[in-house]
Structures are given as structure tokens and as C-alpha cells.
Amino acid sequence: MSKILKPTFFLFIIITFFTACSNKNIQIQDLKTYSQNPKQYLQNESFEFKNQNTYNERFYDKYFEVWNNPTIKISKRAASWGFLYKKKDIYLQNFSKASKQWFDKQIQNSNFKEFKSKLQKAITIKNSNIKVLPTKQMMFYNPYNAGEGFPFDYNQNSSIKINTPILVSHLSKDKAWAFIKTSSFYGWIDIRDIAFVDEEFIKKFKTNTYAVAVKDKFNIYKNYFIENIQLGTIFPYEKDKFFIAAKKSNQKAFIKTVNINKENISLKPLKFNNKNLTKIAQELIKEQYGWGGILGFRDCSSFTQDFFSSFGIYLDRNSKQQIKNGKYYKIKNFTNKKKKEFILKNAKAFKSLIYLKGHIMLYIGNIKGEPLVMHNVWGVKTRVFLNKKGRNIIGKNIISSLEFGKELETYDDTNTVLDKVEGIIILDEK
């Protein structure tokens, strides 16, 4: 080997070594230190929710809001915020850059000159995805960067469950998509996944007695497969029958009744006690991470939303909105030591959320003065060769401390989760 080639060769070996190390996921120590069975954290205290009935009444006010008050107050500019992606470097599902012509096509198809022209009440007839732009195509930032690429599809706004009331603003130019308002967000839904409702349907659907799925991902049938049901799905209930929305050939909704096994469903609200908290938490622990509800899985805020919905406690869809759903205490400027002390003193186990920008966690108590959380998380930020950013992937719902992964040799200690904690939200407090 020539002397000229040796430095280059050894540099190649070093880069290859560190790249290989950065791509290897290591199980974080918290998953061994702290039991991943939620039951362990519900044994030494009796849990109740003082204002549960009040919260449950508010839940239905929000759930049916788009039918009870069919208005859209946001501006066209706010509704079409997704157009801003045109100014960014966006990659499509084949990792090619989205062209100006691609964005122009989506923007034209969005048909926002018809914004608010319909204001027609509707309902979802199956689980569906809500998109930022009216297309099933995926949008990524540079997929070669850590924390980008799959599953972070920026066209995936959220997921939505069967039986959810919605309000249609208008249709896309190709008539294949409807721009809708839900109780807490806006976006595009495949027109085949909804049906339009009239006052007669609404009157029948509002039975004033409702049940909620307490088992995650089970199938329902009516001679044939109907849907894979997620925990937190709402069903009107009457005479031992559960209602689901279906549609006629003219896109109008009608009600079907289905039988559901008793172990999969409960009258709502589920009583907020140790037994039921354990049941719901055990259903959701270790679930795979799903950005925006992609592939039917949950991200951090859809986990907290569905966890509490079983108990009749309404949370908005994303983490930033959820800080408004309870009493918020700002601790952003505290030292990390003071943050922990404040959480330990003020947060209520299984009734409090811990918020940082882009992430939210359910506080479940402490062990030896270490605050613990249950949260659906993608991974731990790391730093690798030449200070390049990386990720140690977790990709599921876990129980951890606020400094999970700190034992990793590549742990990025420059801006940790605890560093970024901004506040706590207490739900059972006026």
C-alpha cells in the first residue's frame, strides 16, 4: 500500500467504524431499571378523579361540537398552512426531491377558493388518515438525516377513528378529498372514508348513552369484516347494541348495529380507579411508535389522548394544544434539579402530563425521588463521529425517567429531554 493511500485508508476505516456504531441500537438502561408493567405503579395508592363526571360532559360537548356549532372560524391562510412546505426541501417516498410542479399540483387540487363553501355535517365510516395536502404521497425532510425520513411523514397530519363527527369545508378539485374540521384539528380525508349526515341521523346517533373501546386493535364484523377498532373509539349504545356509521351509495350516512364482546368495551366513562387505570395502561404499553397515527399506531399525544378518553377526559390532538386541557405550570426556566423537585411536589400520578416542545408524557409517580413517565417515543438523541447527530431508536411506548438513555456513550447531553421540559399539566384541578 502506498504512503499516499494510507491516511485516506485509515480515515475510511475510522468513519466506517463510527458510522457502524451510530447505526446500532442499544436497549436503554431505563427499560431494565424500571418495570415496564404499569400495574407496578398503581399498587401503593388509591386513585380517583374528583371531577370525572364534569369532564365527561365536556368530552361530549367537544366530540359533537362540529355538529352542534357547524362553523369554521380559522382563515383560509391558516387552513392552508401546509402550502409553506413548498418553500422547503421536501423529499417524496422514493427519496426524490418534490418539484415546484408537484407542489403546484397539490395546491391547485386543494381548491381553497371553495373554502367554507359546503359546511356540511358528516361522520367517518372507517379509521382513516388526515393529510396536510390532498394526496396519499409522503413528504419527508432530508431522509438521510437523523430523526428524519420514515416514519416522519409531514403529510401525515393525524389519524381519525370510525364514528367521529366531522364538518366538511369543501372538496378538492378532483372530488377525491374533503377538507374537514374535527373537534381539535383540520385536514384532508379520503372522500370514501366519510358519509354525510342529516338531522335525523344525528338524532338517532346521539343516544346519550355511549360506550368506549377498552381493548386496542380488535376486529368487528357484521357478516363481514368492518374495522380494526382502536382503544378510545366511541360507540353510541342502545338495547345491548352498539352503533356504527355506514354509508349508502349516495354518500349519505345510516346506522348499523354490531355486537362487541364485553371484554373489549365498556360504558363510558370508565371509572377512574386502580383496576381500570391498569387495564388501559397495559393495553397501550409497548405499542409501536406511529408519527401522526401512521399505520394505526400512536405518537406521544395520541397516546395521552386515548389513555384519558376512556375515562371521559377530553384532550386535544397535539402536545402543544394539550397544555390548555388542564392547569398548566410553567417550569421552563428552572434548573433541572428544580424541575424535578417541582414535579415531585406538584404533579399527580396518572393525572398529570409533562410537556416539552414536540413531546408530551404521562407522569406516573416516582421511585426513590426519580420522576417517572409513560410515553410513546421514537428515540434518544445521540452524537457520533465529528459531532454528527444520531438517534438510538426506541420506537414504542415505554416507562422511563426524564433522562432516559443517559448511560449511552453517544448520549447527546447538550439538550436533553429534561433540559427541554417546559411545564406540567394537572388535569384534576380547577
Q: 126-141: per-residue pLDDT in tens?
A: 999 999 999 999 999 9
Q: Report how far residue 287's alpha carbon sits from residue 292's, in angstroms, rounded to the nearest whole number.
A: 14
pLDDT of residue 20: 44
For the record, the C-alpha cell of 317 comes out as 390532538
Q: What's the mean pLDDT when you consider all of the chain? A: 94
For the record, the C-alpha cell of 67 comes out as 355538529
Sign of the Cα pseudo-torsion (188, 193, 196, 201, in order): negative
The tens digit of pLDDT for each residue in 384-398 reads 877 788 999 999 999
Q: Report how far residue 366's alpha carbon sits from residue 396's, in angstroms, rounded to the nearest whole number.
A: 21
The tens digit of pLDDT for each residue in 220-231 reads 999 999 999 999
Q: Report how far residue 249's alpha carbon sits from residue 352's, in angstroms, rounded to the nearest whole number.
A: 46
First to last CA, the chain: 75
Domain 25-49+273-426 matching CATH 3.40.50.360: the answer reads: no
Range with the poorest average pLDDT among 43-52, 116-125, 362-371? 43-52
Q: Could you tell me the pLDDT band of residue 24, with boundaries at 50, 70 and 90?
A: confident
The tens digit of pLDDT for each residue in 53-97 reads 999 999 999 999 999 999 999 999 999 999 999 999 999 999 999
Q: Could you tell me the pLDDT band of residue 195, with boundaries at 50, 70 and 90?
A: very high
Does residue 400 surpass a pLDDT of 80? yes
Q: Which residue has the higher pLDDT, 18 or 243?
A: 243
pLDDT of residue 388: 85
Mean pLDDT, to the nearest integer, of 24-37? 95
Placement of cell 446500532 in the chain: 24
For the record, the C-alpha cell of 187 comes out as 385536514
Using omega within 30 degrees of 0 as the cis cutoff, is the peptide bond preceding 143 cis? Answer: no
Does residue 19 surpass a pLDDT of 50? no
pLDDT of residue 88: 97
**Extents of the domains making up the chain:** 25-49+273-426, 53-267
Range with the poorest average pLDDT among 20-34, 147-161, 358-372, 388-402? 20-34
Residues in the chain: 430
Q: Which residue has the higher pLDDT, 15 or 83?
A: 83
